[in-house]
Amino acid sequence: MNLFDRRRKTVVAMAHIGALPGAPLYDADGGVDRLIENVILDVEKLQAGGVDAIMFGNENDRPYELTGSIESIAAMTAVVSAVKPMLKVPFGVNYLWDPYATVAIASVTGASFAREIFTGLFASDMGLWEPNAAKALRLRRSLGRQDLKLLFNINAEFADSLDGRSIAMRAKSAVFSSLADVVLVSGPLTGQPAELSNLKNVREAIPETPLMANTGVNIDNVADIMAYADGCVIGTHFKVDGDTWKAVDADRVNRFMDRLRALPTAA
């Protein structure tokens, strides 16, 4: 399966892992076994609903760090590895907000793709945010995973770009100079949609590169968003009551996928 085949709209569903060891919200009593149990329950519902791929993320590790800790990277690798045998669809990894941890975990677990902030300079809740795409791509090569698709989120949540260029030019530059495989456009926070004008401008700037909406896609706005995007990443809308921090709601997944597949632009 070519996950980013632009002839169909791709839905990447988030499997949010509970807070990892070292994070303030970590459940030390439940431990890593509880993390695995809860993720399995979510993955079962997502796959039954017909999503195209699963992406494992550590959204619960608030407050976020820009450099992953050894214990949390090890725990996330253990969780992904434990859940992998039950997967029927391709999977990806996103360790917030460390591109090198993301590439490392994705590479060793056999993921098909990895999402992160790989380019830019941002003022953020976490302080000055300065990723290094060259370092991330060299790590991918060192780990022998040139097949690992890198999804570049070009306008970070919880942050404001200090780059004065337009979002369209930043997207074009990420593809041209940093070798982005897929470009993602986000809203200002998790669960909030990207501006349609941003999606439109980026689409026009990189017509040959897969473009995905990264946040805030729901059953009410999916038609408008898919007019420009080749797919989307969904976490919040698939949760009980549309609450990012709750479990996956199977009915929400089924209704959304039915709506998406009914769109004229979807195969």
Burial 96-113, CB ≥16 within 10 A → b, else e: bbbbbbbbbbbbebebbb
Record the pTM. 0.96
Per-domain residue ranges of the chain: 10-260
How many other C-beta atoms are found inside a 10 Å radius of the C-beta of residue 39? Answer: 22
Q: What whole-number distance in Å separates Cα of residue 247 and Cα of residue 204?
A: 36
Cβ(253)–Cβ(261) below 8 Å = no
Q: Which amino acid is at 145?
A: R
Q: What whole-number distance in Å separates Cα of residue 169 and Cα of residue 171?
A: 5
- What topology does CATH give the domain 10-260? TIM Barrel (3.20.20)
pLDDT of res. 199: 98
Q: What whole-number distance in Å separates Cα of residue 67 and Cα of residue 256?
A: 35
pLDDT of res. 3: 84
Q: What whole-number distance in Å separates Cα of residue 218 and Cα of residue 252?
A: 10
pLDDT of res. 190: 87
Question: What averages of pLDDT result for each successive group of 10 residues across the chain (267 residues)?
Answer: 80 98 98 98 98 98 97 98 98 98 98 98 96 98 98 94 96 98 94 95 97 97 96 98 98 97 72
